[in-house]
Structure 1
Amino acid sequence: MQLRHLRYFVALARHRHFARAAAECGVSQPTLSAGLVALEQELGKRLVERDRRFVGLTEQGEAMLPWAEQILGAMGSMTQAVAATSAPLSGPFRLAAIPSALPLVGRFGAALLQRYPGLSLAVQQAPSRQIEQDLAALSCDAGLTYLDHDPPAHVVAVPLAEEGFLHVAPSGGDWGEEGAVVEWAAAAARPLVLLHGGMQYRRILDAQFAARGLSATPRAVADSLVALLSLVGSGQFATIVPDGYARLVEGLAGFDVRPMAADIHPAQRLGLLVLDRQPMGPLAKAALTVARTLGAV
């Protein structure tokens, strides 16, 4: 079985498009298609449903995908481990982060690249469950996510920050005295734009409201904190974002930014995760080394 054929298969499963998968693999579309046919012939199973375009993976293809991802990930880790015996770490470092953890990317990424200058950083935003799946499939090297709410399994975690909540609204509104906290009941009564319910931060936020006997029914939802702030900037909505975004939004013209009332739950911890596996790859080890120097909480 040729590794390049596995790469074609995994790329196609990720992109769900023949031309984009071929472009990622650096081959022509006919070459990719021929490689997939060769893989199917070797296994004696059809892996991909296709007409003139990609339709989906067959049941056999779905069963094979996580194993193919792990084989390719293990090969990459093996190559890095061998190379690291005679030269500094080099190549791409794949970091996945939930939206709430994106403010940590700068601090962690800068420390990683300073300690390991041969690495290049590739950051992808992903939901927490996708990060857990990507770590298990060895398709990312580390993740930044919550450590206590829906904690992932089979990982090594390093806490990096504790999270509070910020109320962000159009400036000029009746939000009380400057610097005063915003009560949760007052926030629930206003037109809100929030992350959609499938995102972990939204589930945490809903739990905060519910603990106070409240519920928030947003007028709009989005899957990006940038989209939330854009809608707030329209003057029609308020939102609640992680306080890690304070440096990014405080002082911006047109926004009133202040903390929410004291949290009645333990603070949510954000941190770095790597897959707990032996042997641990050199990139995962590097991530843990850097995270532990950043001052775990």
Structure 2
Amino acid sequence: MDVELRHLRAFVAVVHHRSYTRAAAELSVTQPVLSRTVQQLEAILQVRLLERSTRHVRVTSVGQQFLGHAERILGELGQALSAVGAQRTLRLGFSWLLPDPWAQNTAAAFENATGATVTVMRRDDPVAALHRADVDVAFVRGDPDLGGAAEVHLFDEDRVAVVSTRSSLADRQRLDWEEIPTWPLVVNTVSGTTGDWSWPDGERSVEIVTCTNYDEWLETVAADRGIGVVPVVAARRSNHSGVRFIPLTGAPPVPVRLAYVPATAGALIRHFVDAATGAA
């Protein structure tokens, strides 16, 4: 049997803690498993590395010499893994305004856990970008067709109404969801979360003004071509002098999800999904 990294990690942990119990807790193994691993290492080397009594663990002279080599090997391995990890990147696709502080907390947790980095990539249609392998994970609002991609629900966002400062609605203190269909509605047909599909037949807006991305949507509302409805994150993050955000009552929330392709979901994507759900 050759010496394995688990042997070195077990030996170094016991020496550092001077305790099998504490070393086992650090390595997330049982104490009997840790004891067997150290014994295997001693059998392979055919030397006594540790002397154990009912009260303490003592390192032998040979064990002390071996400790320095083992620590150096593990340290150099850690440096090598960090160097490689820094070159790994997960590409997160989004269409507009990643929510805060979720995005920052997710990226930090993922990068701390993996050593890899998160690159955010704005795409008008992040789901299409996902299927052409332009991004690794897509951040999706609403209920678009994911084309067979796997999904993870993160949270729901409240909606807010958006009107031009020149609109007759600009002085309103709030609007109700049932009022929205009575006004021309500006709809982002690619990644928007509110459109004529949001109301049953017979309750839809009389006039729909379409666009294909968030910037166009915002400018169209500012030009008073119609009103818009968007997740409330836009009210915190958009600084446009031509629009006013108005609280909206009775509106259903917007589901927020991550989408990824199962066939290409390696460890890096799984780590990101774990970080994303933990930050939600």
TM-score normalised to structure 1 length: 0.54
Q: CA deviation at 1:110?
A: 5.3
Q: Distance in 1 between matches of 2:105 and 2:85?
A: 17
> Cα–Cα, structure 1 residues 224 and 105, in superposed 2: closer, same or farther, change >3 Å?
farther
Q: Which residue of 1 aligns with 2:137?
A: 142
Whole-Å Cα distance in 2 between the matches of residues 172 and 226 of structure 1?
Answer: 19
Tell me which residue corresponds to 1:257. 245
- State the Cα distance separating 1:254 from its structure 2 match: 3.7
Q: How big is the shift at 1:294?
A: 0.8
Q: Is the Cα–Cα contact under 8 Å of residues 191 and 212 in structure 2 kept in the other structure?
A: no
Once residues 256 and 89 of structure 1 are traced to their aligned partners in structure 2, the CA distance between those partners, rounded to angstroms, is 43
- Name the counterpart of 1:217: 207
1:32 matched to which residue of 2? none
Structure 2 unaligned spans of 5+: 1-79
Taking a change above 3 Å as real, the CA distance of residues 282 and 105 of structure 1, as seen in their structure-2 partners, is farther
Code of the residue aligned with 2:121 in structure 1: it is V
Matches of residues 276-295 of structure 1 in structure 2 within 5 Å?
Answer: 276-277=262-263, 280-295=265-280
Q: Is the 8 A contact 2:94 2:138 kept in 1?
A: yes
Aligned to 1:153: 148
Alpha-carbon spacing, 1:252–1:139, altered in 2? closer, same or farther (3 Å): closer
- Distance (Å, rounded) in 2 between the aligned partners of 1:289 and 1:89: 19
Structure with larger Rg: 2
* Root-mean-square deviation (Å): 3.4
Q: What is aligned with 1:270? A: 256
Q: Give the alignment partner of residue 159 of structure 2, picking from 161, 165, 180.
A: 165
TM-score (norm 2): 0.57
Q: 1:224 Cα shift?
A: 1.5
- 1:117-167 superposed Cα distances (whole Å, 9 cap, x missing partner): 541514131425414523xxx442111114755354252x33223133322
Output the CA distance in 2 between the equivalents of 1:213 and 1:252.
30
Q: Is the 8 A contact 1:93 1:120 kept in 2?
A: yes
**CA separation of 1:192 and 1:178: change in aligned 2, threshold 3 A:** closer
Q: Deviations over 1:218-247 (max 9, x none)?
A: 2x4221211221233334543222333121
Is the 8 Å Cα contact of residues 183 and 207 (structure 2) preserved in structure 1?
no
Question: Quick one: which of 189, 194, 201 aligns to 2:192?
Answer: 201
2:231 counterpart residue number: 242
Matches within 5 A, 1:114-125: 115-116=110-111, 118-125=116-123
User: Which ranges of structure 1 fall in alignment gaps of 5 or more residues?
Assistant: 1-82
- Residue in 2 that maps onto 1:112: 107
Matched letter for residue 111 of structure 1: T
Residues 11-43 of structure 1: CA deviation (Å, up to 9, x unaligned):
xxxxxxxxxxxxxxxxxxxxxxxxxxxxxxxxx
**Contact 1:84 1:282 (C-alpha < 8 Å) held by counterparts:** no
Checking the alignment, whether the CA contact within 8 Å between 2:164 and 2:222 is kept in structure 1 is yes
Q: Distance in 2 between matches of 1:154 and 1:234?
A: 37
Q: Separation in 1 of the partners of 2:202 and 2:160?
A: 17
Deviation at 1:262? 1.1
Partner of 1:127: 125
Distance verdict in 2 for CA 1:276–1:171, change over 3 Å = same
Work out the number of aligned pairs and report it.
198
Note if contact 1:191-1:237 (Cα within 8 Å) is conserved in structure 2: yes
Identity %: 14
- SS for the counterpart of 2:169 is coil
**Inter-CA distance 130–294: structure 2 relative to 1 (3 Å threshold):** same
2: CA distance, partners of 1:221 / 1:148: 18
Q: C-alpha distance in 2, partners of 1:120/1:103?
A: 13
